[in-house]
């Protein structure tokens, strides 16, 4: 979604019930635990500080009509209602029901259910020891230097569902545990392909329990990206082999994380705390109506998310909830980072508290998000996590639509930007190369304090993939379009920010021109793995760029002062040519300097550089960290629509 200039800003008027003598909402000090299984007893609690009464209902299955046990709960400290069931109820399912104003609200799994049954409307009592795969206690996230971060955005179903993926567990968590999978021509697919590609972080599209797929009808091949959350702390069932079994979905998710860690990847989870599915079915509205959302003056849900409701991160309990939910995913599921959907819905204080708490769990955690919203959130613009406010965030980054739109063109598809020789994009390409920081040669307003806060990318799941965009915005031949893709990704991979690519774009995937394919069938979204054969040259170029970046940490100095000191842009008259040199790299890189020429022009380009002996790392659509040859001289050249990378050794 495109960043909006918020000229008009509403004020938050959330409905708040008075629960303490001073009118404040009571929030528990201890972490929220709604179901704690201890063998011969299980403790239950639900947060409903203004409720008149609360009940626990136990069921034998997630679909039974009648509860086998109903227990009245007692009001406790911190706005909690509690009860203890002194029997072994492992395997049972539960709901809470809250009474307010003499009326019983509908049943709910609560707001923090960690295990759920099919379709997520009932919580599940599980022994968490049963959910751990063999060796889980030994699972360790690999150590990856900041300069080696390359993010690959992956959707479970897209990645493996195609008949030619060679994967047995197609569209499932377990797909990413299978080694040795091949396409019909014997080229690697799945997790082996990711290893070949040189990416280091796998960003998973929403994998927490969402409401848009009926898990009782998976044979209907339903599709959805999952941006309609229901239970934030529970694993989505449609990607498991048995959505009816709460333990199965949890265990298989852990097996996936374990396999990715073993293969050398760290794992980022796409989280969607900015809105929920239909609010009326959520635990939020069935326990504390109006509290967890921003409400407009007319009593309707504010809609900065564009999805029917926006949450209220500034509310004390929701802030606590977000922090503890994220900690849960790190501690129980060994997640290594988070991508925040529509992060600008959330307030800056909440995002900074999240960063502080998560970095205490793992100092290497990676946190970034979309620095925009669908429309103006009902909260002051200067206090929300807008892209423009990224400099106010502590170790939290944002996607850069600056470099995205500059290299591939605007959202309206009126042109294909810098990679197709369109003038007017040079300044934002240079801004992206510098990692969004203040730099004496960059004219675009900085919004980061550290280049690692700048996520550089050309495409993601939103909007057109690169191939569809090129086919929409330019009449060039396929050969010319492939050159444009290589050029665009060279800009991404040589930027000082975090490079990010969309799954399958290295295979020149398409979505048949569909921009917003969130609920489209596999015929639109599935990755055709025969493209790895057809476009293997492109795959090799992506792999080569990754290898170059890994070999040369000078492309990711990780410090704004170092970037200002060592990165110099080389003057070029052509508005579609960007050239830069990173020098003084002794002690940082194996090279003394790195030189890059990005030529989006339709004619050849040359620029003067310091006289030296260089290794050619990329030229004319080929990339190799070991080198494509040697060059001695003081001129760097690039053919039309191509990039050249040199390393002075």
How does pLDDT run across 475-513, given as a tens digit for each residue?
A: 999 999 999 999 999 999 999 999 999 999 999 999 999
Determine the Cα–Cα distance for residues 189 and 187; give it in Å rounded to an integer.
Answer: 7
Write out the H or E segment, with its range, that includes residue 512: none
Position 629 in a domain: yes
Determine the Cα–Cα distance for residues 436 and 406; give it in Å rounded to an integer.
Answer: 13
Determine the Cα–Cα distance for residues 75 and 84; give it in Å rounded to an integer.
Answer: 13
43 CB contacts (<8 Å, ≥6 apart)? 33, 35, 36, 82, 83, 84
What pLDDT does 350 receive?
98
93 and 72 housed in the same domain: yes
Position 130 in a domain: no
What pLDDT does 24 receive?
73
629 and 526 housed in the same domain: no
Q: Which residues are catalytic?
A: 341, 370
287 CB contacts (<8 Å, ≥6 apart)? 46, 47, 48, 51, 96, 98, 105, 108, 110, 111
216 and 97 housed in the same domain: no
Write out the H or E segment, with its range, that includes residue 491: helix 478-493
Determine the Cα–Cα distance for residues 489 and 491; give it in Å rounded to an integer.
Answer: 5
Q: Is residue 454 packed enough to be buried (19+ CB in 10 Å), middle (13-18) or exposed (0-12)?
A: buried
How does pLDDT run across 166-191, given as a tens digit for each residue?
A: 999 999 999 999 999 999 999 999 99
The torsion defined by the Cα of 559, 560, 561 and 564, in degrees rounded to 10, comes to 120
What pLDDT does 513 receive?
95
User: Helix 348-361 to helix 316-333 angle, to the nearest 10 degrees?
Assistant: 30
How does pLDDT run across 83-117, given as a tens digit for each residue?
A: 999 999 999 999 999 999 999 999 999 999 999 99
Query: What phi, psi does 632 have (nearest 5°)?
Result: -125, 130
What pLDDT does 459 receive?
97
Residue 620 maps to which CATH number?
2.60.40.1180
541 and 631 housed in the same domain: no
How does pLDDT run across 197-222, given as a tens digit for each residue?
A: 999 999 999 999 999 999 999 999 99
What pLDDT does 623 receive?
98
Determine the Cα–Cα distance for residues 558 and 565; give it in Å rounded to an integer.
Answer: 12
CA atoms lying within 13 Å on the CB side of residue 589: 24
Position 626 in a domain: yes
405 CB contacts (<8 Å, ≥6 apart)? 411, 417, 425, 428
How does pLDDT run across 553-593, given as a tens digit for each residue?
A: 999 999 999 999 999 999 999 999 999 999 999 999 999 99
Determine the Cα–Cα distance for residues 269 and 620; give it in Å rounded to an integer.
Answer: 36
185 and 265 housed in the same domain: yes
Write out the H or E segment, with its range, that includes residue 266: strand 266-271
Determine the Cα–Cα distance for residues 152 and 503; give it in Å rounded to an integer.
Answer: 6
Position 117 in a domain: no
The parent domain of residue 58 ranges over 35-110
Higher per-residue confidence, 451 vs 14: 451
Longest dimension (CA), the chain: 85
185 and 104 housed in the same domain: no
622 and 501 housed in the same domain: no
70 and 197 housed in the same domain: no
Please state the pTM of the whole predicted model.
0.96
Position 600 in a domain: yes
What pLDDT does 5 receive?
34
Mean pLDDT throughout 56-68? 97
490 CB contacts (<8 Å, ≥6 apart)? 545, 596, 598, 618, 623, 643, 645
192 and 100 housed in the same domain: no
Residue 44 maps to which CATH number?
2.60.40.10
How does pLDDT run across 272-307, given as a tens digit for each residue?
A: 999 999 999 999 999 999 999 999 999 999 999 999
Position 317 in a domain: yes
What pLDDT does 20 receive?
52
Position 482 in a domain: no
158 and 271 housed in the same domain: yes
197 and 319 housed in the same domain: yes
Position 266 in a domain: yes
Residue 323 maps to which CATH number?
3.20.20.80
Tally of domains within the chain: 3
Work out the pLDDT band at 57, boundaries 50, 70, 90: very high
300 and 382 housed in the same domain: yes
């Amino acid at each position: 979604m495109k960043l909006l200039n918020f000229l008009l800003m509403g004020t938050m008027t959330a409905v708040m019930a008075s629960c303490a003598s001073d009118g404040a909402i009571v929030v528990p000090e201890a972490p929220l635990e709604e179901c704690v299984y201890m063998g011969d007893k299980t403790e239950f609690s639900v947060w409903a500080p203004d409720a008149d009464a609360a009940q626990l209902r136990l069921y034998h299955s997630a679909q039974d009509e009648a509860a086998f046990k109903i227990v009245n709960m007692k009001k406790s400290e911190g706005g909690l209602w509690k009860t203890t069931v002194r029997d072994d109820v492992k395997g049972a399912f539960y709901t809470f029901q809250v009474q307010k104003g003499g009326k019983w609200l509908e049943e709910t799994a609560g707001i923090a259910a960690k295990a759920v049954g099919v379709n997520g409307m009932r919580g599940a009592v599980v022994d968490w020891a049963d959910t751990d795969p063999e060796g889980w206690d030994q699972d360790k996230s690999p150590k990856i230097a900041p300069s080696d971060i390359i993010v690959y955005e992956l959707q479970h179903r897209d990645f493996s569902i195609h008949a030619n993926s060679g994967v047995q567990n197609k569209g499932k968590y377990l797909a990413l545990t299978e080694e040795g999978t091949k396409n019909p021509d014997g080229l690697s697919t799945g997790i082996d392909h990711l290893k070949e590609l040189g990416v280091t972080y796998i960003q998973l599209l929403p994998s927490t329990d969402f409401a848009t797929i009926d898990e009782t009808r998976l044979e209907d091949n339903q599709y959805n990206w999952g941006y309609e959350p229901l239970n934030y702390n529970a694993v989505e069932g449609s990607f498991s082999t048995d959505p009816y079994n709460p333990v199965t979905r949890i265990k298989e998710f852990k097996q996936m994380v374990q396999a990715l860690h073993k293969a050398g990847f760290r794992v980022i989870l796409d989280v969607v705390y900015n809105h929920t599915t239909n609010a009326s079915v959520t635990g939020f509205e069935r326990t504390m109506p109006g509290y967890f959302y921003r409400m407009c003056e007319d009593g309707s849900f504010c809609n900065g998310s564009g999805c029917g409701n926006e949450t209220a991160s500034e509310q004390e309990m929701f802030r606590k909830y977000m922090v503890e939910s994220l900690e849960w995913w790190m501690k129980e599921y060994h997640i290594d980072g988070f991508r925040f959907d529509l992060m600008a819905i959330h307030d800056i204080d909440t995002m900074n508290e999240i960063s502080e708490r998560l970095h205490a769990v793992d100092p290497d955690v990676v946190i970034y998000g979309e620095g925009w919203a669908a429309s103006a959130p009902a909260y002051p613009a200067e206090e929300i996590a807008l892209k423009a406010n990224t400099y106010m965030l502590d170790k939290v980054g944002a996607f850069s639509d600056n470099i995205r739109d500059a290299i591939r063109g605007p959202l309206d598809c009126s042109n294909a930007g810098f990679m197709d020789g369109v003038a007017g994009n040079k300044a934002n390409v240079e801004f992206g190369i510098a990692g969004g920081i203040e730099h004496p040669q960059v004219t675009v307003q900085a919004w980061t304090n550290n280049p690692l806060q700048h996520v550089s990318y050309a495409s993601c799941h939103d909007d057109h993939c690169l191939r569809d965009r090129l086919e929409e915005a330019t009449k060039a031949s396929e050969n010319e379009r492939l050159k444009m893709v290589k050029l665009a990704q060279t800009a991404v991979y040589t930027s000082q920010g975090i490079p990010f690519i969309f799954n399958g774009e290295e295979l020149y995937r398409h979505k048949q021109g569909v921009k917003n394919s969130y609920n489209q069938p596999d015929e639109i979204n599935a990755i055709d793995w025969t493209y790895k054969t057809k476009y293997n040259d492109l795959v090799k170029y992506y792999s080569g760029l990754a290898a170059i970046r890994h070999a040369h940490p000078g492309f990711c100095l990780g410090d704004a002062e170092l970037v200002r000191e060592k990165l110099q842009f080389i003057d070029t008259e052509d508005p579609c040519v960007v050239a830069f040199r990173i020098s003084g790299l002794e002690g940082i890189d194996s090279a003394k300097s790195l030189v890059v020429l990005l030529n989006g022009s339709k004619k050849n380009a040359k620029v003067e550089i310091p006289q030296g002996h260089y290794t050619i790392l990329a030229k004319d659509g080929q990339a190799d960290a070991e080198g494509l040859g040697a060059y001695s001289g003081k001129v760097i050249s690039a053919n039309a629509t191509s990039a050249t990378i040199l390393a002075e050794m």
